[in-house]
Amino acid sequence: MSDNLATVVRDICRKYGRERGRLMDIVRAVQEKFGCVSGPAMDLIAKEVGVRRVQVASVVTFYAFLSEQPKGQVVIRLCNDIIDQMAGAPDVARAFEEELGISFGQTTPDGKFSLEYAACIGMCDQAPAALVNDVPVTELSTDAARRIVRDLRKHMDPSRLVHRLGDGNNAHELVHAMVMNNIHLRGPVIFTPANRGEAIRKALAMTPAEVIRAVKTSRLRGRGGAGFPTGMKWEFTRAAPGDRKYIVCNADEGEPGTFKDRVLLTELPDRVFAGMTIAGYAVGAAEGILYLRAEYAYLQRFLEDLLDKRRAENLLGQNICGKAGFNFDIRIQMGAGAYVCGEETALLSSAEGSRGDPKNRPPFPAQKGYLDCPTVVNNVETLACVTKILEAGPATFSEHGSPGSTGTKLLSISGDCKVPGVFEVPFGIKLSEVLKLAGGEDAIAVQVGGASGQMIAREEFGRTICFDDLATGGSVMIFGPERNVLEVADKFMEFFVEESCGYCTPCRVGNVLLKERLERVIAGQGEPADLEYLQDLGQTIKTMSRCGLGQTSANPVLTTLKNFRATYNALVKKRTDGLQPAFDLGAAVGEAETIIGRKSEHAHA
């Protein structure tokens, strides 16, 4: 066994050139092979790669999909975000537990099954969903959960759980998934017919500076949510000194309620790869990296195959499309389960083979990014837009949308609505119109922008989706009249506590404290002063945190305090006896009463 471990680990390390920068791939491969990255495995990896064991441990312990302790041969990860919960995930969870005879977080004694919760796996429009190893299983019921376990017991092969295939490329033999695209609205930019290679050929007929000018003219802004002007980002990177530059596509779509990048990568990956290639030409980069979240590993083979096809057609590789001297290739870097890696500098740390800790800024990635080289990091959708801009011209792009937010936006709509799925809408659309499109007019609240976004109340449904009003990476979660907005906020806080990298104090500690006090208020044990406490604490986290995750992590509390104040006010009360509402005198003296064998006169007066 240990000889086997040594041989296999050595082979894996050599496959990745024993490079420290490929540590993520190495530990992922070891995890897949042995169900864990054990202490002895870490020692072996450290020796092969030339790092300390504690550096390997530092990586392994950071990611949800990696573990030091052995996991089952099959790991079932049930998505437990708020949308999945509303769709029945708790019942499905019980069914899995009963059928397997273990609780979440445990592995069966025979080492065959592990049961875990996952943060949003990007399937909110077909919730409840789970990953069985890499295989997504969607629209789960308690019956489906039991059947899955029984089937697995027979063959232990997750791929055989796919009894029906999804639409579009989900049915492609290299994807082979039951996942549905659920594209309900196709707009004029993204979901339009495309001619493979056209955008690249047009770009290569221009100078790099002209390509950048075209992107600037289109006024394209980053689709990840922050909305930084893409052309400007490229210009900075082009101007930065350095021979080696990189194009990184951020496909770590982890914001709860977002799944449009999954659909883009399933249906229009050519557009995304073309966008990366055009970016490479524009800034003078020869290498691109698609950072793909671990939850979408089922798309990896399909995407690798497409990269091969593009190489064969000279859309990647040397002297692309006959353009002498333009060389560009793309590799896929798999993540391992960490929301924070959607933050661009954390993503770079992870792609470099380290913990997904965000980096200090400055320097910005355009100056010093991947391996300290100038790097463009763009969202999947942004790059798909680039391809359209080069294909149809910047004017055709910017005639859609609003002046400050040109083009269209893909929305991932989920929750209490008739048709959850992906909608391509023009920027500037009113939230009320979005609700009408998805059949969610009954909503009492809409979370725009995922857990880190804003909870919007009915009175504000007239606001618009755009960078100057309601900015969003695409997540729109709809909550109907029967939902408790504060419990939704609490669920988001649970998410942030788990997904904080823990690097900086306010995010690591503050969110734990915020969640504690929010829950006290929800339980009816809060007093009016607790609302000021929440506001002050939330504001401290927002102001003092180091990266975008921390700076937005208090939003579930801060935006509900602002937009649902009456809900909070109804829960808090001032006690007349001068004690804090959370203080239960009877319980506090209970133990002492048991010891002395009589009841306190004061406590029960």
Partner 1 sequence: MSATIEFVIDGKEIQGQPGQTILEAAQQAGVYIPRLCYMKGLVPHGSCRVCTVLVNGRPQSACTQPVAPGMVVENNTEKVTALRRNIVEMLFVEGNHFCMFCEKSGNCELQALAYRLGIAAPKYPYLFPTRDIDMSHPDVFIDRNRCILCGRCVRASRDVDGKHVFDFVGRGPHKRVAVNAEVRLADTNLDVRDKAAEACPVGAIMKKRVGYAVPIGQRLYDHKPIGSEIENGKK
Q: What is the Cα Rg of the chain in Å?
A: 25
The rounded distance, in Å, linking the Cα atoms of 311 and 318 is 9
Q: How far is the CB of 540 from partner 1 (least distance, A)?
A: 4
**Of residues 266-325, those binding partner 1 (CB under 8 A):** none
What string of H, E and C letters represents the secondary structure of 468-524?
A: CCECCCCEEEEECCCCCHHHHHHHHHHHHHHHCCCCCHHHHHHHHHHHHHHHHHHCC
Supply the minimum distance, in Å, between the C-beta of residue 365 and partner 1.
15
Question: Which position among 91, 314, 508, 590 is part of the footprint of partner 1 (CB under 8 A)?
Answer: 508
Q: Which is nearer to partner 1, 370 or 495 (CB)?
A: 495
> Is 388 among the residues that bind partner 1 (CB under 8 A)?
no
Q: Which of 5, 6, 47, 58 binds partner 1 (CB under 8 A)?
A: 58
Q: Is 54 in the site for partner 1 (CB under 8 A)?
A: yes
- With CB under 8 A as the contact rule, the residue among 107, 169, 545, 563 that binds partner 1 is 545
Residue 226 DSSP SS3: coil
Region from 260-268, 287-295, 381-389, 530-538 binding partner 1, contact rule CB under 8 A: 530-538
* 30 contacts partner 1 (rule: CB under 8 A): no
Q: How far apart are CA 304 and CA 326, in angstroms?
A: 21
- Which lies closer to partner 1 via its Cβ, residue 536 or residue 577? 536
Stretch that binds partner 1, among 312-320, 391-399, 463-471, 507-515 (CB under 8 A): 507-515
Contact window for partner 1 (CB under 8 A) among 324-332, 431-439, 466-474, 502-510:
502-510
The residues near 237 (Cβ < 8 Å, ≥ 6 apart) are: 245, 283, 285, 365, 366, 374, 375, 376
Q: Any contact of residue 516 with partner 1 (CB under 8 A)?
A: yes
- Binding flag, residue 387, partner 1 (CB under 8 A): no
Question: Which residue lies nearer to partner 1 by CB, 158 or 337?
Answer: 337
355 binds partner 1 per the rule CB under 8 A: yes
Query: Hey, what are 538's tokens?
Result: 């939330």
Task: Please check whether residue 340 is in contact with residue 499, taking contact to mean a CB–CB distance below 8 angstroms.
Answer: yes
Q: By CB under 8 A, tell whether 69 contacts partner 1.
A: no
Is 543 near partner 1 (CB under 8 A)? yes
Residue closer to partner 1 by CB (options 434, 504) is 504
Which of 502, 524, 528, 586 binds partner 1 (CB under 8 A)? It is 502
Work out which of 418, 498, 562, 569 binds partner 1, going by CB under 8 A.
498
Q: CB of 223 within 8 A of CB of 190?
A: no
- Nearest approach in angstroms of CB 539 to partner 1 is 8
Residue partners of 552: CB distance under 8 A and separation at least 6: 452, 453, 542
Burial of residue 593 (CB within 10 Å: 0-12, 13-18, 19+) is: middle
Q: How many angstroms separate the CA atoms of 532 and 468, rounded? A: 28
Q: Contacts with partner 1: how many residues (CB under 8 A)?
A: 38
Q: Tell me if 5 contacts partner 1 by CB under 8 A.
A: no
Q: State whether residue 412 is helix, strand or coil.
A: strand
Residues 6+ apart with CB under 8 A from 532: none
- Residue 400 parent element (H or E): none
Residue (165 or 513) nearer to partner 1, CB:
513
Residues linked to residue 117 through DSSP beta bridges, in sequence order: 78
Exactly one of 499, 531, 557, 568 binds partner 1 (CB under 8 A); that residue is 499
**Helix, strand, or coil (residue 392):** helix
The correct pick among 326, 370, 503, 568 for binding partner 1 (CB under 8 A) is 503
* 72 neighbors 107 (Cβ within 8 angstroms): yes
Q: How far is the CB of 242 from partner 1 (least distance, A)?
A: 19
Options 19, 32, 39, 94; binder of partner 1; rule CB under 8 A: 39
Question: Residue 194 belongs to what H/E stretch?
Answer: none
Residue 251 within binding range of partner 1, rule CB under 8 A:
no
Segment lying near partner 1 (by CB under 8 A), choices 119-127, 149-157, 544-552, 584-592: 544-552
Beta carbons of 281 and 328 less than 8 angstroms apart: yes
CA dist 391 and 202 (Å) reads 7
| Strand order through the sheet with 475-479 | 183-185, 421-426, 408-415, 475-479, 445-448, 454-457
Residue 528 in the binding site for partner 1 (CB under 8 A) = no
| Contact between 27 and partner 1 per CB under 8 A | no
Q: Least distance (Å) from partner 1 to the CB of residue 373?
A: 19
Nearer to partner 1, 61 or 319 (CB): 61
- Minimum Å gap between C-beta 52 and partner 1 is 4
Interacting residue ranges for partner 1, rule: CB under 8 A: 39, 52-55, 57-58, 61-62, 338, 340, 355, 360, 362, 497-506, 508-510, 512-513, 516, 533, 536-537, 540, 543-546
